[in-house]
Chain A
Amino acid sequence: MTSVPYKIEMQNVAKSFGPKNVLNGIDLQVPAGKSLVIIGGSGTGKSVTLKCILGLITPDSGTIKIDGEDTSFVSGDERDRIMRKFGMLFQGGALFDSLPVWQNVAFGLIHGKQIDKKQAKNIAIEKLDAVGLGAQVADLFPAELSGGMQKRVSLARAIATSPEIIFFDEPTTGLDPIMADVINDLIVKCVKDLGATALSITHDMASARKIADYIAMIHQGKIIWFGSVSELDHSNNPYVDQFIHGRATGPITEKAEYTTRRA
Chain B
Amino acid sequence: MSQSPAPSKNIFDPVLNICAVIGASVLNMLASIGTLTAFAGRSITHAFSLPFFVSNLGRQMMNIGYYSLPVVGMTALFTGMVLALQSYTGFTRFNAESAIAAVVVLSITRELAPVLTGLMVAGRVGAAIAAEIGTMRVTEQIDALTTLSVNPYKYLIVPRVIAGTLCLPLLVLVADIIGVFGGYLVSIHVLDFSPSNYLYQTWDVLTTNDVVSGLTKAAVFGFLVTLMGCYHGFNSARGAQGVGAATTNSVVSSSILILIFNYILTQVFFS
Residues of A within 8 A of B (CB): 51, 54-56, 80, 83-84, 86-88, 90, 92-98, 107-108, 111-112, 157, 161
Q: Is B139 an interface residue (CB 8 A)?
A: yes
Chain B 70-95, CB within 8 Å of chain A: the 1/0 string?
00000000000000000000000000
Shortest distance between the CB of B141 and any CB in chain A (Å): 5
- B146-163 residues with Cβ-Cβ distance < 8 A to A are 146-151, 155
A-B complex: 10 closest residue pairs judged by Cβ atoms:
A94-B140, A94-B144, A108-B148, A112-B149, A88-B147, A83-B149, A111-B150, A56-B143, A84-B149, A90-B140
Not counting A80-B151, A87-B147, A111-B155, a sample of 5 additional A-B residue pairs whose C-beta atoms are within 8 angstroms of each other reads A55-B146, A83-B148, A94-B144, A107-B150, A111-B149
- Least Cβ–Cβ distance between A257 and chain B, in angstroms: 27
Verify B146–A90 contact, CB threshold 8 A: no
- Total interface residues in chain B, CB < 8 Å: 16
Bound complex: CA A96 to CA B56 (Å): 14
Q: Is the CB of B149 within 8 A of A108?
A: yes
A92 to B144, CA, bound (A): 11
Q: Are A51 and B143 in contact (CB under 8 A)?
A: yes
Chain B interface (Cβ within 8 Å of chain A)?
51, 132, 136, 139-141, 143-151, 155
Give chain B residues whose Cβ lies under 8 Å from the Cβ of A55: 146
Closest to B135 in A: A97
Known: A94-B139, A94-B140, A97-B141. A54 touches B148 (CB 8 A): no
Q: Are A90 and B149 in contact (CB under 8 A)?
A: no
11 A-B interface contacts by CB (under 8 A): A51-B143, A83-B148, A84-B149, A88-B144, A90-B144, A94-B139, A94-B144, A95-B144, A107-B148, A111-B51, A112-B148
Tell me whether B147 and A86 are in contact (CB under 8 A).
Answer: yes
Closest chain B residue, CB of each to CB of A87: B147
Of chain B, the residue at the smallest CB distance from A88 is B147
Residues of A within 8 A of B155 (CB): 111
Question: Min CB distance, A116 to chain B, in Å?
Answer: 14
Q: Which residues of B are found within 8 Å of A86, using beta-carbon distances? A: 147
- Chain A residues contacting B143 (CB-CB under 8 Å) are 51, 54, 56, 90, 94
Separation in Å of the B214 CB from the closest CB of chain A?
Answer: 33
Cβ of B195 to closest chain A Cβ, rounded Å: 48
Assess whether A54 is in contact with B144, with CB atoms less than 8 Å apart: no
Query: Inside 8 A of A94's CB, which chain B residues have their CB?
Result: 139-141, 143-144
Q: Which residues of B contact A80 (CB under 8 A)?
A: 149, 151
Chain B nearest CB from A99 CB (Å) reads 10
Q: Which residues of A contact B147 (CB under 8 A)?
A: 54, 56, 83, 86-88
Q: What residues on B are CB-neighbors of A90 within 8 Å?
A: 140, 143-144
Tell me the nearest residue of chain B to A86, going by C-beta.
B147
CA gap between A93 and B140 in the complex, in Å: 8
Q: Which residues of B contact A108 (CB under 8 A)?
A: 148-149
Contact of A56 among B136, B139, B146, B149 (CB under 8 A): B146
**Most chain A beta-carbon neighbours within 10 Å: one of B51, B141, B145, B155:** B141
Complex interface: chain A residues within 8 A of B145 (CB): 96
Within the assembled complex, what's the spacing in Å between the Cα atoms of A199 and B151?
24
Contact at B139–A92, with CB atoms within 8 Å?
yes
Interfacial chain A residues near B151, Cβ < 8 Å: 80
- A63 CA to B132 CA, complexed, in Å: 34
